[in-house]
Amino acid sequence: MTHPPTKSAAPPGAGAALPAQRTGSPTPAAAPSRRRTAFAEGVDRLRTAATTEPGRLRVIGAVLAVLIVAFGAVTAWQMSERAAAADDVLHRSQPLSSGAADIYRYLADANTAASSGFLAGGQETAASRQTYETDIQKAAAGLVNAAANSEPGSPAEKAVAKLNQLLPEYKGLIERARVYNRQGYPVGGAYLRYANDKMQDEMLPAAQELYEKENARLSSDYSDATPYPWAAIVLGLLALAALGWAQLRHYRRTNRLLNHGLVAASAATVVTLLWLVVGHTLARAGLDSSYDHGVRSLNVLHDARIASLKARGNENLSLVSRGAETITVDKKSYDKYYYDFDKEMTALGKGLTLAAALADDSAGSKPVVAAEGNMKVWKERHAVARDADENGDYQTALDKVIGAKDATAECFDSVDDNLRVALAHEDGEFKERATDGLDAMAGLPIGAAMLGVAAAAGALFGIGRRLSEYR
């Protein structure tokens, strides 16, 4: 008779494990190994591959391609910026600078025409009136153009806004002076002097500030256009050095003199580097020449022309005021307008001397020399008019200033005409040389990028041909 197993019976194979569970602690499970990152594995694979010749060739090809592409990209970037700045010099900042000088001149000329018409009284000519109106219209148009090209909140914009506010006020004062002058009221002279003070003390300083700001913009554009692109040049030299080393290595390992792909890449890099250095050197020379023989002369001639206009205005006002305005200098009293006339004539003489020195050909110096001769005659005739005025002979003084024959008006007109001719010549010189500078950079940014891509492709092709020998 069989009996069922007791509860203490254990299944086969379980008896050996039970004592261990009773007598000892559980054995901890082994910690799983940490998985390496993809980057670390990639570095290891790259290090392993670099120990073989195909791996080294791949690394060399990648480095060459990166250097060459970086050279082409930086060259395109730097030369694009310089070409844009040179274009601004030619088509934007210098025209705006000349436009600001013209605004100043139009205002000064309008003031001079107004005083000349006032001296003529009821015999004011239609030409004199038309000159005044034309100058005011041109000054207003110049302000519109300056406002359109001024940055919001800039000092130039503030100067333009101030002039736009003052111009109608000035015109109103001139019209009142004319009305009272035609009626024979002395108060007309007071209105004219008040208008002149507004012009001299508020409007012309604002126009001068605008001119200075536009000149500063022009100088900034020159500074952006002329520096050498050293970053691109250094990268080009590094790329050439790397290509030379790769070809030398190729020769030593294969005893083959040339690798066509690497030679093509080297040739494209050399062409780009030479184009960069030579092109920018020519561009820099053209721009520097446009400044030295164009902008500098233009600035001096503009200043001289403005000085002549202000001198003429003071000469007229000295007869309008008849000694009513005086100034004290070094404890001596002078007629204000005669004193300012002498000051402006001194500035005119210095400006003409400097302009003659800056002129680099006869076409530029001839009108300046002629203006110097006109200025000397002007000073002689002015001295006669001043003596007559100081001696109480007002009519003789008036005839010597605005008369039909042998008057200072003829000398002023001749000075102004000659300076206009000189300005036109120097403006042509500037445009010609600045255009040469801009043309020297034409196509360089796009050409450098295309040659860079071609050189990188050539380097990769050359390395690829070498790698195919291991397959």
Distance CA 393, CA 287 (A): 55
Going by C-alpha positions, the residue among 90, 72, 93 that lies closest to residue 440 is 90
Biggest CA pair distance of the chain: 170
Residue 50 pLDDT: 66
Q: Contact, 276 vs 233, CB < 8 A? A: yes
CA–CA separation, 111 vs 18, rounded Å? 121
| 27 — pLDDT class (breaks 50, 70, 90) | low
Which residues fall within 8 angstroms of residue 286, CB to CB, at 6 or more apart? 433, 434, 435, 436, 437, 438, 439, 440
Residue 333: its pLDDT value, please? Answer: 82
- Percent of the chain scoring above 70 in pLDDT: 90
Q: Residue 328 — φ and ψ, nearest 5°?
A: -110, 125
Helix (H) or strand (E) holding 333: strand 332-335
- State the pLDDT at residue 104: 93
Of 418, 425, 403, 409, nearest in space to 373 by CA: 418
Q: Is the pLDDT of residue 315 over 50?
A: yes
> Out of 52-56, 100-104, 284-288, 405-409, which region has the weakest mean confidence (pLDDT)?
52-56
117, 125, 419, 167 alpha-carbon torsion, rounded to 10°: 50
Contact (CB, 8 A) for 104 and 211: yes
Q: Does the pLDDT of residue 374 top 90, yes or no?
A: yes
DSSP-derived secondary structure letter, 226 = S
Whether the per-residue pLDDT at 187 is higher than 90: the answer is: no
Residue 77 in contact with residue 444, Cβ under 8 Å?
no
Q: Name the residue type at position 315.
A: E
192: Cβ contacts below 8 Å, ≥ 6 apart: 114, 115, 118, 173, 174, 177, 181, 317, 320
Integer Cα distance of 59 and 71 in angstroms: 18
Q: Is the pLDDT of residue 335 over 80?
A: yes
- Residues sharing a CB contact under 8 Å with residue 441, sequence separation 6 or more, in sequence order: 79, 82, 83, 86, 279, 280, 283
pTM for the full predicted model: 0.79
Nearest to 459 by CA among 66, 71, 61, 70: 61
Question: Quick one: average pLDDT of 75-95?
Answer: 94
Residue 33 has pLDDT above 90, yes or no: no
CA angle centred on 410, ends 407 and 414, rounded to 5°: 150
9 pLDDT band (50/70/90 cuts)? very low
Of the candidate ranges 179-188, 280-289, 411-420, the one whose mean pLDDT is the lowest: 179-188
Instruction: Please check the confidence at residue 341 and state whether its pLDDT lies above 70.
Output: yes
What local confidence, expressed as pLDDT, does residue 336 receive? 87
DSSP-derived 3-state class of residue 329: strand
pLDDT of residue 165: 94
Residue 450 reports pLDDT greater than 70: yes
The pLDDT tens digits of the residues spanning 96-139 come to 999 999 999 999 999 988 888 888 765 667 888 899 999 999 99
Please state, in angstroms and rounded to a whole number, the distance separating the CA atoms of residues 103 and 163: 10
The span from the CA of 242 to the CA of 246, in Å, is 6
- The residue-averaged pLDDT of 78-105 equals 94
Is the pLDDT reported for residue 71 higher than 60? yes
Helix then strand count (H, E) for the chain reads: 16, 2
Q: What is the dihedral sign for C-alpha 169, 174, 177, 179?
A: negative
Mean pLDDT computed over 344-352: 95
- Strands 326-329, 332-335: pairing is antiparallel
Which of 20-24, 67-71, 205-209, 379-383 bottoms out in mean pLDDT, i.e. has the lowest? 20-24
* pLDDT tens-digit readout, 249-304: 888 888 777 888 999 999 999 999 999 999 999 999 999 999 998 999 999 999 99
Tell me what the pLDDT averaged over the chain comes to: 87
Residue 425 has pLDDT above 70, yes or no: yes
Give the whole-angstrom CA distance, residue 455 versus residue 465.
15
With cut-offs at 50, 70 and 90, classify the pLDDT of residue 363: very high
* Structure-block tokens of residue 240: 């050439």
Spatial contact of 395 and 341, defined as CB atoms under 8 Å apart: no
DSSP letters along 401-433, please?
HH-SSS-HHHHHHHHHHHHHHHHHHHHHHHHHH
pLDDT confidence of residue 471: 62
Contact indicator for 391, 355 with CB cutoff of 8 Å: no
Is the per-residue pLDDT at 75 higher than 90? Answer: yes
Residue 28, pLDDT score? 55
Look up tokens 């020399």; give the residue: 369
